[in-house]
């Protein structure tokens, strides 16, 4: 397998990454090495990154303000965060009101993360981009150009490359189904 493929695709999507040397062959299957390669850089007084980490316990710790793609398009990260909080609050209120009935096994955070990812994807789509989610010890997200074939290829190679570390990636999609309230 050509384990440079994911790095080459990322460099194609984000020419800024061409300045970074692709890790040596013996390190390419290390997810930790991948994270180091994708690390945020300080630019104009603030950090920008193509790969953002999201805290599993604190939905508002999602690094929207670091997204290099959102910086390029001058996206209002605080506005997205505000929308997320407004949409999430009724879920928390409902859960608090009914947690005795709902039970302790219900995870309200899962629904909140759907809101976070929906808002990120909605903004990304306005700029012809898509959202990819990485599941590892922590969760990560990245916004990539809407090139379906390249996205499919990237996800396939990514999953192969980091399979041994139990790391996977998915192309996040919104589903058009009605929600009950």
Q: What is the pLDDT of residues 45-95, one digit of tens each?
A: 778 899 999 987 777 789 999 999 999 999 999 999 999 999 999 988 988
What pLDDT digit, counting tens, does each position of 23-57 carry?
999 999 999 999 999 998 877 777 889 999 998 77
Whether the pLDDT of residue 178 is over 60: the answer is no
CA-angle at 35, arms to 153 and 170, nearest 5°: 35
Kindly list the domain boundaries of the chain, sorted by start residue.
Answer: 76-137
Q: What does the pLDDT read at residue 99?
A: 82
Task: Report the DSSP beta bridge partners of residue 168.
Answer: 135
CB atoms < 10 A from the CB of 103, how many? 8
The DSSP line for 159-175 is HHHTGGGT-EEEE----
Question: How far, in Å, CA of 58 to CA of 16, rounded?
Answer: 30
Report pLDDT digits (tens) over 91-149: 889 888 888 888 777 778 888 899 999 999 999 999 999 999 999 999 999 999 999 99
The share of the chain scoring above pLDDT 90, in percent, equals 71
Residue 61 is predicted with a pLDDT of 80
Mean pLDDT of 8-27: 95
């Amino acid at each position: 397998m050509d384990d440079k493929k994911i790095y080459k695709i990322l460099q194609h999507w984000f020419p800024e990454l061409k300045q970074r040397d692709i890790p040596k062959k013996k390190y390419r299957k290390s997810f930790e090495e991948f994270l180091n390669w994708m690390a945020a850089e300080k630019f104009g007084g603030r950090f920008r990154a193509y790969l953002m980490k999201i805290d599993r316990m604190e939905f508002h710790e999602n690094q929207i303000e670091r997204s290099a793609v959102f910086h390029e398009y001058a996206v209002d990260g605080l506005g997205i965060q505000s929308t997320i909080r407004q949409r999430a609050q009724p879920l928390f209120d409902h859960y608090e009101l009914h947690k005795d009935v709902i039970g302790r096994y219900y995870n309200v955070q899962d629904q909140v993360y759907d809101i976070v990812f929906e808002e990120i994807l909605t903004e990304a789509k306005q700029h012809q981009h898509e959202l990819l989610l990485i599941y590892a010890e922590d969760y990560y997200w990245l916004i990539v150009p809407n090139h379906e074939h390249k996205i499919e290829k990237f996800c396939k190679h990514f999953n192969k490359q980091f399979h041994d570390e139990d790391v996977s990636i998915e192309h996040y999609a919104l589903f058009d189904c009605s929600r009950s309230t």
